[in-house]
Amino acid sequence: MKKLIIFCSILFSSCHSDVKYSEYISMLGGWEEGKPATFQYQTEDTISKYNLYIMLRNDNSYPYSNIFLITRMETPDNQVVVDTLEYEMAKPNGEWLGDGVSVKESKLWYKENVSFPKKGNYSFSIEQADRTLGQNYGVKNLEGITEVGLSIEKISKK
């Protein structure tokens, strides 16, 4: 029994991530085109490395098997990095990816092994850029995404 307790303690402590920032924004009534989810992260640490994740929660009303996002990161000295990203949200058989039952939560890689070279406030925005197949314009109000989040996790040295 003692060995089992020690093993479980080691297992749970090794799985612990050092989350420095985590926030969600609710998308009640859908995610409107041109209305990004915005996040602010204040840091004094210019040395450590971090992994950044986009966190999405979706329900069964989400109509697509993937999602397109436009991200924007602005540094304290007003430099801007914009990325267009695509993520799979469902398996080919239609089964949702992610954790959960009626609402699925997906933790999506955004940036890996990042440092924040300047002290101060970093601004992040995440905007949906989905389109219906064959349409020239984006989806005006994306149903099924219930929350959008950002997580910043310090990479631990082992």
Query: Given a cut of 70, is residue 14 above it in pLDDT?
Result: no
Confidence band for 32, pLDDT divided at 50, 70 and 90:
very high
**Rg of the chain's alpha carbons, rounded to an integer?**
18
pLDDT tens for each residue of 83-100: 999 999 999 998 999 999
Query: Given a cut of 90, is residue 143 above it in pLDDT?
Result: yes
b (16+ CB within 10 A) / e for 84-117: eeeeebbeeeeebebeeeeebbbebebbeeeebe
Query: Given a cut of 90, is residue 1 above it in pLDDT?
Result: no
Lowest mean pLDDT among 9-18, 74-83, 102-111, 120-129: 9-18
Distances 63 to 3, 96, 130, 139, 142 between C-alpha atoms, Å: 48, 11, 10, 11, 9
List the beta bridge partners of residue 84.
70
Which pair of tokens denotes residue 129? 């850029």
pTM of the model: 0.84
- Output the average pLDDT for the chain: 88
